[in-house]
Structure 1
Amino acid sequence: MITTTGLTKVYRSRGREVTALDGVDLHVREGEVYGVIGQSGAGKSSLIRCVNLLERPTSGTVTVDGVDLTALAGKGPRAGRELRAARSRIGMVFQHFNLLSSRTVQSNVELPLEILGLSGRERSRKALELLDLVGLADKARSYPSQLSGGQKQRVGIARALAGDPKVLLSDEATSALDPETTRSILQLLRDLNERLGLTVLLITHEMDVVKSVCDSAALMERGRVVESGTVGELLATPGSQLAAALFPVSGAASGDDRTVVDVTFHGDAATQPVISQLSRTYNIDISILGAAMDTVGGRQVGRMRIELPGRFEENVVPIGFLREQGLQVDIVTGQDPESGPAAGRATGPDSASPAESASASTSAPNLVKDGAR
């Protein structure tokens, strides 16, 4: 539904160049909720604004619902008729609502319908339907100043749906809301995704948003996508930064003659008493150093850090037992030939030393700072 290929955005000011996007390749499947997460300056906002060409990419292509928007952009600063028509099928929800204070709630929702040229009766009917859809049918005649933050965002979502879009873009839509309101807005987005078949692309700095609503996710750093995939794929990827941040665990070995492993549970294995089975089968005492479990997409998933008595070579069989149960097992201490030559080392160019690996889970929650864009 949404594909970017080699997407680059360079801002130029006073003889300086700042690269916000550096060859971004992204693929969002039809009907999924896709989250993009990263620290301040990672390029998330530039990416989502380039998807609907509010920002013109310096190079690369953006395709939405089979239409190459970059081919419609033209050379002038203003959007042509074809690009405006394509944009009307892409809804946008902003962080700070962007409602007009002089208009009623209903009139705010009607605004894009006015631009599309619908009659007054059609605008009114459509706006009331959308307000009912987002749970604000009784606020049609209210003004934005009379609404709470969550209600204002619901109006923003209703307005974004006015053009019957196939794609909904969310630019930090919940970052200005309290936790309880955030949960209700995320549930609304998920309901709309399922009820209307919407494809949702959202950017966020909150891991809980990805955990609670996203089917897939991407991590951005310095204008590049460094990791992406479905949540299930990420959890099954050794050394995944996103998996570690979604389900952080910590804990160090109690001695040199101990083996510490991280076990990732997902799918049917998450509901099985695998650790107790391991302890009974091999008559070993297992220490649980940390655990993080939650429900993602209606399925229980999580990670657990456990300590086994003895060095790695003494635990080859128990570790093999865990892997036979369909679990992802990463060695934190010891040396596992399947995990690489160094103890606790993750795969990939950003591999950490054993000491760094032991502390990685402790720092994982700070992967994305509060308030980051």
Structure 2
Amino acid sequence: MITTSGLTKIYRSGGPRGRAITALDDVDLHVAEGEVYGVIGQSGAGKSSLIRCVNLLERPTSGTVTVAGQDLTALAGRGPRAGRELRAARSRIGMVFQHFNLLSSRTVQDNVELPLEILGLSGRERARKAAELLDLVGLGERARAYPAQLSGGQKQRVGIARALAAEPKVLLSDEATSALDPETTRSILGLLRDLNRQLGLTVLLITHEMDVVKSICDSAALMREGRIVESGTVTDLLATPGSELAAALFPVSGGGEDPERTVVDLTFQGDAAGRPVISRLARTYDIDVSILGAAVDTVAGRQVGRMRIELPGRYEDNVVPIGFLREQGLHVERAEHPGPDAPAAPPAGPAAPPVAALAKEETK
């Protein structure tokens, strides 16, 4: 539904001959039809530039953007203003903003009617459509209120209703929950997921909040310095050795300092999450198993978790118990801290200060 290929955006500070700032660097992204796709990263990673390039609010320096089979970059032309074909294509892409962008002088209903007015619908048709959308987002009784009379969550619901006015198949969300409190955030995320299912919407959202990815995303990508450094379905990422996103979504720590003991990280999903695998391991092999840390949650309707355990003995002495864990459907990865004589551990990927910082910020 959404594909970017070689997408690059370079800004110039101080005019055409000024210093070049690369916001997007050869970004390839594919969002499947009907999925909720999250792009996560720190400020300055390029997330906002990416989402604004998807609907050509920002013109890419190079590369292509295709939405619903239509190459938007081919419609951009050379002038600063969008042509008729690009405006028509944009009308099929809804956009939800971080700070709502509602017109304070218009009522809730008038704000929702605005894009329909631009599209040339009659007053009666605009009113009918706006009423339907406000009912859909749970604000039918607030149609005559003004934005100043609404809570932050209610304002965002109006923004979502307005984004759906032209019946788009794609909804873009630019940090839509970052200005909201946790309870309101959960409510808005639930609404986005419901709309995704009811209307068949494809949702691309950017965020710096791990809970957003954990709550509603089918797939996710990590951005850093204008590049996508990791992407995939959330369930696949959780089973990927060294995944930064998996470690940030389900952080576990502890142990690993004694080369005479083996520390491994376990990832379990679905049915495996409900089985007493660790107690079976201890009974079957008559060994003491120490649980150093664990994190369990529900992702995309499935129970998912990570656990760090410690087994007695060196890694090479625990091949059979580790094989048992894998036979139970768990993904097993050795925690980093090999001793001088220990065999090499599987590659754990690059260091992860950006995502670690995000996870730390989430717990504040």
User: What TM-score comes out, normalization by structure 1 length?
Assistant: 0.92
Contact in 1 for aligned 2:37/2:217 (Cα 8 Å): yes
Contact in 1 for aligned 2:257/2:337 (Cα 8 Å): no
Query: Percentage identity across aligned positions?
Result: 81
Displacement of 1:332 in angstroms is 1.2
Structure 1 equivalent of residue 357 of structure 2? 366
Question: What pairs with 1:278-289 in structure 2 (closer than 5 Å)?
Answer: 278-289=281-292
SS in 1 for 2:157: helix
Structure 2 equivalent of residue 10 of structure 1? 10
Match among 295, 299, 304 for residue 302 of structure 2: 299
Structure 2 equivalent of residue 167 of structure 1? 170
Contact in 2 for aligned 1:39/1:368 (Cα 8 Å): no
Which runs of 5 or more structure 1 residues have no equivalent in the other structure? Answer: 353-359
Structure 1 equivalent of residue 146 of structure 2? 143
Structure 2 equivalent of residue 346 of structure 1? 347
Structure 2 equivalent of residue 51 of structure 1? 54
Distance, in Å, in 1 between the alignment partners of 2:88 and 2:178 is 30
Contact in 2 for aligned 1:205/1:368 (Cα 8 Å): no
Displacement of 1:268 in angstroms is 2.0
Contact in 2 for aligned 1:2/1:29 (Cα 8 Å): yes
**Do residues 290 (structure 1) and 293 (structure 2) align?**
yes
**Do residues 113 (structure 1) and 119 (structure 2) align?**
no
Distance, in Å, in 2 between the alignment partners of 1:364 and 1:286 is 29
Contact in 2 for aligned 1:38/1:368 (Cα 8 Å): no
Structure 2 equivalent of residue 355 of structure 1? none
Distance, in Å, in 2 between the alignment partners of 1:327 and 1:61 is 40
Aligned residue type for 2:210: M
Question: What pairs with 1:235-314 in structure 2 (closer than 5 Å)?
Answer: 235-253=238-256, 255-314=258-317
Distance, in Å, in 1 between the alignment partners of 2:270 and 2:347 is 23
Q: How many residues align?
A: 357
Which runs of 5 or more structure 2 residues have no equivalent in the other structure? Answer: none
SS in 1 for 2:100: coil
Displacement of 1:333 in angstroms is 5.0
Structure 2 equivalent of residue 318 of structure 1? 321
User: What TM-score comes out, normalization by structure 2 length?
Assistant: 0.95
Contact in 2 for aligned 1:311/1:334 (Cα 8 Å): no
Contact in 1 for aligned 2:338/2:344 (Cα 8 Å): yes
Aligned residue type for 2:159: G
Contact in 1 for aligned 2:253/2:292 (Cα 8 Å): yes
Structure 1 equivalent of residue 136 of structure 2? 133
Displacement of 1:36 in angstroms is 0.1
Match among 80, 84, 89 for residue 87 of structure 2: 84
Aligned Cα RMSD in Å? 1.8
Distance, in Å, in 1 between the alignment partners of 2:89 and 2:355 is 39
Structure 2 equivalent of residue 191 of structure 1? 194
Aligned residue type for 2:241: P
**Do residues 70 (structure 1) and 73 (structure 2) align?**
yes
SS in 1 for 2:307: strand
Change (3 A) 1:368 1:56: farther
Change (3 A) 1:335 1:128: same
Match among 325, 330, 342 for residue 327 of structure 1: 330
Q: Deviations over 1:309-361 (max 9, x none)?
A: 1111111100011111221111115769xxx9634x5344x2x5xxxxxxx79
Displacement of 1:30 in angstroms is 0.3
Distance, in Å, in 2 between the alignment partners of 1:268 and 1:84 is 48
Structure 2 equivalent of residue 97 of structure 1? 100
Contact in 1 for aligned 2:256/2:337 (Cα 8 Å): no
Contact in 2 for aligned 1:264/1:304 (Cα 8 Å): yes
Distance, in Å, in 2 between the alignment partners of 1:25 and 1:195 is 29
Distance, in Å, in 2 between the alignment partners of 1:293 and 1:274 is 15
Distance, in Å, in 1 between the alignment partners of 2:79 and 2:216 is 38
Contact in 1 for aligned 2:41/2:355 (Cα 8 Å): no
Structure 1 equivalent of residue 222 of structure 2? 219
Aligned residue type for 1:318: P
Aligned residue type for 2:358: L
Contact in 1 for aligned 2:108/2:142 (Cα 8 Å): yes
Change (3 A) 1:39 1:132: same
Contact in 1 for aligned 2:249/2:359 (Cα 8 Å): no
